[in-house]
Chains A and B, each alone.
Chain A
Amino acid sequence: GDSVTQMEGPVTLSEEAFLTINCTYTATGYPSLFWYVQYPGEGLQLLLKATKADDKGSNKGFEATYRKETTSFHLEKGSVQVSDSAVYFCALYNGGKLIFGQGTELSVKP
C-alpha cells in the first residue's frame, strides 16, 4: 500500500541555519503531497502542498518540490528561526486516503 518515509529526528539546528528534512513516498497513481506542522499540544496544520510532478509548494519561507523520478518531496528552508521549532510531517493524498510519515522533530537554538 501507499506509504511515506521521513528522515528520523530530532534535528537540532542553530538559528539562521539551512534546513532539509527528507521525505520519500511509495504510491500507485498520482498522489498529491503535503507538509504539515505540529506545534506542542496542538493538531497538525497545513504548511504547503504540491499536486503534480515538478510543482513547488512554498509557504513562510519553506519550500518543497514534487520529484516523481525520485519519489521525493524534501522540505527546505534557507534560514530557520527559533519559532520554527515543531514536528514536521510529510503526507500524501491518494484516492481519498491521507497518509502521514512518522514526523521529524526540529529544534532551533538561538
Chain B
Amino acid sequence: DAGVIQSPRHEVTEMGQEVTLRCKPISGHDYLFWYRQTMMRGLELLIYFNNNVPIDDSGMPEDRFSAKMPNASFSTLKIQPSEPRDSAVYFCASFSWPEAFFGQGTRLTVV
C-alpha cells in the first residue's frame, strides 16, 4: 500500500475562494481523521469518520468547513469561503488499531 495520500501538497488561494483538500486512506482502515496544524494551536482534531460515517465534527471551527467521506477510499475537506486565518497544514490520518498513519499534509495559504 502506498500509504495515506493527500492532495494537493501545497495550495495558495485568494480569500473568498473555495478550497477542497483530498485524502485517500489506507485500504481496510476503518477510521479517518482530519487535523489542522498551526504554530499557535498545535494539532487540532477537526472531524473523524468511522466506516465512512462522520462521528464527531465538534472540532470544525465554523460552518465554512465541511467534510465528506463518500466511500472507504476517499475523503474531502472543503472550506468555503476561505479566509487568511485558515492558513495551516491540514493532515488526514487513517487509523487501524493500534496505529494512525498520516499523509504528508496539505499546506494551505490563503492570501
Residues of chain A having any CB pair with chain B under 8 Å: 32, 36, 41-46, 49, 51, 89, 93, 96-103
User: Which residues of chain A have C-beta atoms less than 8 A from B102's C-beta?
Assistant: 43-45
User: Which residues of chain A have C-beta atoms less than 8 A from B103's C-beta?
Assistant: 43
Residues of chain B having any CB pair with chain A under 8 Å: 4, 31, 33, 35, 41-43, 45, 48, 50, 55-56, 91, 93, 95, 98-105
Task: Tell me, in angstroms, the Cα distance from A17 to B64 when the chains sit together.
Answer: 47
Tell me the minimal C-beta distance from A52 to chain B in angstroms: 12
Q: Could you give 10 example pairs across A and B, Cβ below 8 Å? A: A32-B98, A43-B101, A44-B100, A46-B99, A46-B100, A49-B98, A96-B48, A96-B56, A97-B45, A102-B41
User: Which residues of chain B have C-beta atoms less than 8 A from A103's C-beta?
Assistant: 42-43
User: Which residues of chain A have C-beta atoms less than 8 A from B33's C-beta?
Assistant: 98
Is B55 a contact partner of A43 (Cβ separation < 8 A)? no
Q: Is the interface of A mostly helix, strand, loop or mixed?
A: strand
User: Which residues of chain B have C-beta atoms less than 8 A from A99's C-beta?
Assistant: 45
Tell me the minimal C-beta distance from B9 to chain A in angstroms: 10
Leading 9 A-B pairs by shortest Cβ distance:
A43-B102, A102-B42, A100-B43, A44-B102, A46-B99, A43-B104, A103-B42, A43-B103, A49-B98
Task: Tell me, in angstroms, the Cα distance from A98 to B101 when the chains sit together.
Answer: 12
Is A98 a contact partner of B45 (Cβ separation < 8 A)? yes
Is B42 a contact partner of A100 (Cβ separation < 8 A)? yes
Instruction: List 11 additional contacts besides A44-B43, A44-B100, A98-B48; criterion CB under 8 Å.
Output: A36-B100, A42-B104, A43-B4, A43-B93, A43-B104, A46-B99, A96-B50, A97-B48, A98-B33, A100-B43, A103-B42
Q: A42-B104, A43-B104, A45-B102 are in contact. Are A101 and B31 (CB under 8 A)?
A: no
Residue of B whose beta carbon sits closest to that of A51: B98
Looking at A41, A44, A45, A46, the one whose CB has the most chain B CB atoms below 10 A away is A44
Q: A43-B105, A44-B102, A49-B98 are in contact. Are A96 and B42 (CB under 8 A)?
A: no
